[in-house]
Amino acid sequence: MKIKTTSKKQCETVKVVAKKAPAKAVAKKAAAPAKKSVTFTVNADKGKEVYLAGSFNEWSTTAKKMAYKAGVYSATVQLAPGEYQYKFVIDGTWCADPENVNAIKNDQGTFNSVITVK
């Protein structure tokens, strides 16, 4: 605050001039990376119960049921850019993706398939 006097004598009228503080720059939120449709497929016999489980759905064995068409089960999920681990659950058996050579050893002593979304 700036004080401006109108007279040189002490104890006379004092005019107070308040100035506004400069506006703070408002930080813009970074836009969330756009999610992309990613389709997972696996060959399995018709009539099987096939689910997609992974780090993107907290490894739920029933959250994403895969649909059967022409000898292939498939499921599409929306994923933000990043690296994800996943497996197929076929009739209750966990299976790494046989078509994906990218895998990482898990704490169960088996391997999880890995996909990178860009």
Which CATH number belongs to the domain containing residue 42 in this structure? 2.60.40.10
Query: Is position 4 within any domain?
Result: no
Question: Quick one: tokens of 108?
Answer: 């169960």
Domain count, the chain: 1
Question: Quick one: tokens of 5?
Answer: 């006097």
**For position 19, what pLDDT does the model report?**
53
Query: Is position 65 within any domain?
Result: yes
Max CA distance (Å), the chain? 100
Q: Are 70 and 89 within 8 A, CB to CB?
A: no
Strands 82-90 and 111-117: antiparallel
Query: Is position 56 within any domain?
Result: yes
Q: How confident is the model at residue 13 (pLDDT cuts 50, 70, 90)?
A: very low
Query: Is position 73 within any domain?
Result: yes
Using CA atoms, how far apart are residues 54 and 96, in angstroms rounded to an integer?
11
Q: Has residue 7 got a pLDDT over 70?
A: no
- pTM of the model as a whole: 0.73
Q: What is the pLDDT of residues 41-53, one digit of tens each?
A: 999 999 999 999 9
91 is in which domain, residue-wise? 36-117
Query: Is position 106 within any domain?
Result: yes
- The letter for the amino acid at 89 is V
Edge to edge, what strands does the sheet with 36-43 contain?
Answer: 36-43, 72-79, 67-69
Using CA atoms, how far apart are residues 44 and 80, in angstroms rounded to an integer?
28
Range 57-84 average pLDDT: 97
